[in-house]
Amino acid sequence: MIPVEVKSVLRQKCADCHSKQTRWPWYGRFAPVSWLMEKDVTEAQEQMNLSQWESLPAEEILMLRAEIAGVARAHVMPPRLYQVAHSAVGVTDDDIKLLRDWARRCG
């Protein structure tokens, strides 16, 4: 079970690429941008798909929690290019602390 606060951060900052609930921007309907975006989203979902979270084994969930916290702390995700087009998705210090604390909790 993902706490509400964590779920909110994941939805706002990660779900567009890492879930089946991608919100495609208007410019994502036109080639070649659409090709690049589809490729990026497909690759992101291969790494982690939040839409499948509930069906993952517990060990994989623990690993993903740590990975989420790590990439947020390193400011690797969301990618810089994505942040340029979506200024509200940058990960804040509060987001990082929330994700780090969540990753450290068991279960």
pLDDT value of position 107: 53
Q: Name the range with the highest mean pLDDT among 46-50, 69-73, 80-84.
A: 46-50
Q: How many domains does the chain have?
A: 1
User: Per residue in 16-59, pLDDT tens?
Assistant: 999 999 999 899 999 999 999 999 999 999 999 999 999 999 99
Q: Is residue 48 part of a domain?
A: no
Q: Is residue 104 part of a domain?
A: yes
User: Per residue in 86-104, pLDDT tens?
Assistant: 777 788 999 999 999 999 8
Q: What is the torsional sign of CA 40, 41, 45, 46? A: negative
Range of the domain at 78: 56-107
Q: Is residue 13 part of a domain?
A: no
- Judge contact between 95 and 71, C-beta under 8 A: no
Our CA dihedral for 9, 85, 20, 2, rounded to 10 degrees, sits at: -10
pTM, whole model, 2 decimals? 0.88
> Helix 58-73 crosses helix 93-104 at what angle (to 10 degrees)?
150
